[in-house]
Amino acid sequence: MLVQPDPSDPRLTRRVTGIDQTGAPVETAVTVERPLTLYLNGQEIVTMMTILDRPEDLAVGYLLNQGMLKAHSVVEGVDYDEDLSVVVVRTPERTNFEEKLRKKTLTSGCAQGTAFGDLMEDFSEVRLPAEAALRTSDLYRLLHAINTLPSLYLEAGAIHGCALCQGDQPLVYMEDVGRHNAVDKIAGWMFRNGVGGGDKLFYTTGRLTSEMVIKTVRMGIPILVSRSGFTAWGVELAREANLTLIGRCKGKRFTALAGLERIVFDADLAYVPEESAKHWRKNSREAGDEG
């Protein structure tokens, strides 16, 4: 793993006391969310709620996925002030997105999920590699690897996870209180490290919505997998972009609704174990299945 959260980081969770269903006292870990204000050069863009573990990646990824930065854009610096909870992304060109910010529309993504109409223009221009393939043997090994990662989800719940993967290995795993934040962190990490998406797979615990499909396509990643379900527009956009879209992926079961030609069925299901309830039953309603 190149990048993953540290569940033991005291800044990310907090112990809180309360009572359980019998009235007995309990102590539990809760996820800590904090505001982060993003500036592009001198313009305030958004204040988002985040766990604040990778603010620089989140800032760049947000701007990329909102179309305020392009794949060829030059970023001169990303400055984070922890005391002020402010991150400033600096580019050599003058930028002014006042009109775009006025026209933004809310999507079905939780918290600050937004999309702009002109994102669809970029979306239609992306050509995902047709030669990419997903072997089901790799998929099952990958799911096992992700399900056994140390995570904030297991520590405290109320969190979403996303992973950038290659073959049967997760490379980068990000978590946050909103699934769009986790996606944006990976997009920002890819941009800042010059990593392409053509030979990668994207995994998310969240729903396969139009927003999730658009962001995956914009990252140039040809395969999107989730343990959760689909929206109709998400499926329609995935088919338009020839994105391989796989959902309800738990244990040996999955449903594929787009980009079916990339799937190579080489796994013997008799040797694929069912998913253990141990990893996902804790707080399952708080995280990927419902978010």
CATH number of the CATH domain containing 139: 3.40.140.10
End-to-end CA distance of the chain: 25
- For 118, the token pair is 């002109």
Q: Residue 57 and residue 249: Cα distance in Å, rounded?
A: 27
Residues 6+ apart with CB under 8 A from 52: 11, 34, 36, 85
CB 181 within 8 A of CB 50: yes
- For 119, the token pair is 């994102």
Q: Residue 181 and residue 162: Cα distance in Å, rounded?
A: 9
Q: Is 74 inside a domain boundary? A: no
Q: Is 254 inside a domain boundary? A: yes
pLDDT at 108: 39
* Residue ranges making up the domain that contains 157: 134-280
Which pTM was predicted?
A: 0.87
Q: Is 9 inside a domain boundary? A: no
Q: Is 158 inside a domain boundary? A: yes
Q: Is 275 inside a domain boundary? A: yes
Q: How many domains does the chain have?
A: 1
Instruction: State the residue for tokens 């969770």.
Output: 13
Among 256, 257, 203, residue whose Cα is nearest residue 227? 203
Q: Residue 39 and residue 222: Cα distance in Å, rounded?
A: 31
Q: Residue 260 and residue 240: Cα distance in Å, rounded?
A: 13
Instruction: State the residue for tokens 């008799």.
Output: 270
Q: Tens of pLDDT along the chain (291 residues)?
A: 688 878 888 888 899 999 999 999 999 988 899 999 999 998 999 999 999 999 999 999 999 988 889 989 999 999 999 999 999 999 998 888 866 676 654 443 454 545 545 566 677 788 899 999 999 999 999 999 998 887 777 776 678 899 999 999 999 999 998 888 999 999 999 999 999 999 999 999 889 999 899 999 999 999 999 999 999 999 999 999 999 999 999 989 999 999 999 999 999 998 888 875 554 444 344 444 444
Among 137, 108, 95, residue whose Cα is nearest residue 263? 137
Q: Residue 7 and residue 159: Cα distance in Å, rounded?
A: 12
Cα angle: 140, vertex 144, 146; to 5 degrees: 115
Helix axes 55-65, 179-193, angle to 10 degrees: 100
Phi/psi at 66 (5° precision): -95, 5
Burial level of 286, CB count in 10 A (0-12/13-18/19+)?
Answer: middle
Q: Is 89 inside a domain boundary? A: no
Q: Is 1 inside a domain boundary? A: no
- Reduced DSSP (H G I as helix, E B as strand, rest coil) percent helix, strand, coil of the chain, to 5: 30, 30, 40
pLDDT at 9: 86
Pairing of strands 244-250, 253-258: antiparallel
pLDDT at 24: 96
Q: Is 219 inside a domain boundary? A: yes
